[in-house]
Amino acid sequence: MAFGNPYAAYQKTAVNTASQGKLVVMLYQGAAKEMQAAYDSFGSGDKLPASAIESFGKHLMKSQEIINELQVSLDMDKGGQIAQNLMSLYVYFNKELMDVSIKQDKGKLRQILDMIKELCSAWESAAQNTSVDSIPQAQRTLNITAG
C-alpha cells in the first residue's frame, strides 16, 4: 500500500490545523523561501546565468502568487489602516518583483527579500503572542510534582 509523499501529508495537516496567524506566517515563509531560491539562482555574480533563467522565473512567480494570496486574504472592512498599509506593501512587492523579473535585478530582489523576512518575523511574534494570550493562565502553567 502506497502512502504517497509523507512530507506533503505533513504539510497539508500543518495547514489544516494552523491558526490564522500561523497561516500568514507560513505564507511569508513560503514567499521568503521562493525569493531566496530566485536570489540563489544568480550564484556568486550579479548576472543571472542563462541556465538559471527558467528556475529564477518560476521562483519569482511562486513568490508573487503567495503575495497575491496574502492580498486577497486581507479583510479591508475590519482591518482598517493596517489592512490598507499591508495592501500597499503587497502591491509594491508585486510591482518590484515584476521589475526584478524583467531586469534580473539581484540587488532589488535582496531588498524585497529582506523586507519580507522582517514582516515574517513580526507576524511570527504576533502569532505567538496571540496564541499564548488566548490560552487561559491556568492552562499555560505546568503543574509538576515529585512522585
Query: Can you tell me which residue has the cell 507576524?
Result: 123
Closest CA to 67 of 39, 41, 47, 96: 96
Residue 13: per-residue pLDDT: 55
**Whole-model pTM?**
0.77
CB 108 within 8 A of CB 96: yes
pLDDT per residue, tens digit, the chain (147 aa), is 455 776 555 455 555 556 888 899 999 999 999 999 999 999 998 999 999 999 999 999 999 999 999 999 999 999 999 999 999 999 999 999 999 999 999 999 999 999 999 999 999 998 888 764 454 444 434 444 444
